[in-house]
Amino acid sequence: MTSTGQPHSESTLNYVGFWPRVGASIIDTLILMVITLPPLILIYGWTYLESEQLFLGTADVVINWIFPFIAIVAFWAYKQATPGKMAIAARIVDAKTGGKPSLQQYVIRYIGYFISTIPLGLGLLWVAWDEKKQGWHDKLANTVVEVVKPTVISEPTENC
């Protein structure tokens, strides 16, 4: 929304490019690793890091698959961004209105990450050359990542 409360037009959105989004992803990945690795090592031991199995058990599925899904979608729903995106002053918006995406769009976007990764990460790399800086996950969910414009707060003037 603009400062007047009107939705953005597509031409007023300032899209976040490939490298800042890579940086945000690295931040998010590190945070998730700090949260998930300790309980996984406590439950499965250090051999967890050497395992070639996709799923080692219920705890593995909950900690590695369900928890990240809930945490990421919750951040998107409440803040329109993950901590990594917040660190680079970016947020996810609906591509058509510039407003807050729906929960359905967030879920589609999350699932779209897996689709974007399958063909050698091509769907993620797409951000680098797309006009709106959309990866395939963004295109599927009809979202874009925009730069958060700082709110200007004017200080009261003193009357002398």
Q: Where are the domains of the chain?
A: 10-46+65-147
Signed CA dihedral, 93, 117, 130, 15: sign only:
positive
Give me the phi and psi of 143, to 5 degrees please.
-125, 165
From 5-9, 25-29, 37-41, 142-146, the region with the lowest mean pLDDT: 5-9
Closest CA to 82 of 96, 61, 68: 68
Task: Give pLDDT tens digits for 70-79.
Answer: 999 999 999 9
Q: pLDDT by residue (tens digit) across 84-111?
A: 999 999 999 999 999 999 999 999 999 9
pLDDT tens figures, 21-37: 999 999 999 999 999 99
- What does pTM read for this prediction? 0.84
| Position 54 confidence tier, pLDDT thresholds 50, 70, 90 | confident
